Amino acid sequence: MAWGEVRTGRSLDRLLNFSDAVVAVAITILALPLVDIEGPGPGQTMRDVIAANFGQIQTFAVTFVVVALMWGVHNKIVNRLQAYDSAIFWLMIFWLMGFVFLPWPSRLYEGTRMASDGGQDIGGPGVLYWATLAFISLMGWLTTRHMNKHRDLIDPAQLPAWEVAMASRARFRSGAFTVVFVFAACVTYFVPWLGNMCLLLLIPIGIWLKSPRDAEEQAIAGSAATDPGPTP
């Protein structure tokens, strides 16, 4: 895409549909290692199988939830677009690249998170895992900032709600998530098993930085009420 070019209509729909498809495939790939887990053997129970593979199952569950959360936030943001420029295009491409890359550090992390030292680099894979999540979140935050600077890209019907959200603490959500992931990477480097505990920070942060939905809906309703509509 040429730098400075702006596209609308079906081109925007195809970009959003493409991004949804890529994220869906990336999430599916995260689950593939679980398929290789064999069922109970002689003298084993399902509980034994789960206990033996708990690290792998937990890493998948945590990654799935975090990915779904970031996709939901990003989806809500880009759905307000009426057009996109080259900056939005490349930010979304890098955002998707992070998702496609994520299954590899996820697989490495799940294999070392519960391991003892023994000369093995158990911190490096965790740092790579959390750094990848931080990169994805950073691309989402930069997308929000670019849209806020170029509000002509936003659907006029969505602009009142956007202005409400950008005037609230909600505008810091992606940036705050990025900081949490970087913090988790630092913690994991020194205490590998403690990394996942850092995700608990996302709960109070997410609540505190929640978008004011009621205010957004009132802004949209107010805009619709004052819109005279097309001239006959």
143-198 pLDDT per residue, tens? 999 999 999 999 999 888 888 888 877 778 888 889 999 998 888 888 777 777 87
Q: DSSP secondary-structure letter at 83?
A: E
Q: Is the pLDDT of residue 216 over 80?
A: no
Backbone dihedral region of 28: left (phi > 0), alpha (psi from -120 to 50 degrees) or beta?
alpha
1 falls within a domain: no
* 144: Cβ contacts below 8 Å, ≥ 6 apart: 77, 171, 174
pLDDT at position 223: 55
Banded model confidence at residue 113, pLDDT cuts 50, 70, 90: low
232 falls within a domain: no
Write out pLDDT tens, residues 86-104.
999 999 999 999 999 998 8
56 CB-contact burial (10 Å; exposed 0-12 / middle 13-18 / buried 19+):
buried
CA dihedral 142, 145, 149, 155 (to 10 degrees): 100
CB-based contact 223:157 (threshold 8 Å): yes
Segments in 113-209 forming alpha helices (H): 124-149, 159-166, 173-190, 202-208
Write out pLDDT tens, residues 178-189.
999 999 888 888
CA atoms within 13 Å, Cβ hemisphere of 20: 11
Q: Is the pLDDT of residue 81 over 90?
A: yes
Structural domain including 61 reads 6-226
Number of domains comprising the chain: 1
179 falls within a domain: yes
Select from 88, 186, 170 the least CA-distant residue to 134.
186
The backbone torsions φ and ψ at residue 167, rounded to the nearest 5 degrees and listed phi first, read -90, -5
CB-based contact 150:127 (threshold 8 Å): no
* Terminal CA-CA length for the chain: 39
3-state SS assignment for residue 127: helix
163 falls within a domain: yes
178 falls within a domain: yes
225 CB-contact burial (10 Å; exposed 0-12 / middle 13-18 / buried 19+):
exposed
Rounded CA-CA distance 197/188 in Å is 10
Instruction: Please tell me which residue, 64 or 94, carries the higher pLDDT value.
Output: 94
41 falls within a domain: yes
The backbone torsions φ and ψ at residue 83, rounded to the nearest 5 degrees and listed phi first, read -160, 165
Q: Is the pLDDT of residue 36 over 90?
A: no
Q: Kindly state the average pLDDT of the residues 20-42.
A: 85
The backbone torsions φ and ψ at residue 165, rounded to the nearest 5 degrees and listed phi first, read -65, -40
Rounded CA-CA distance 223/155 in Å is 13
| Rounded percentage of the chain residues whose pLDDT exceeds 70 | 83
Axis-axis angle for helices 124-149, 173-190 (nearest 10): 170
3-state SS assignment for residue 8: strand
Q: Is the pLDDT of residue 61 over 60?
A: yes
pLDDT at position 183: 92
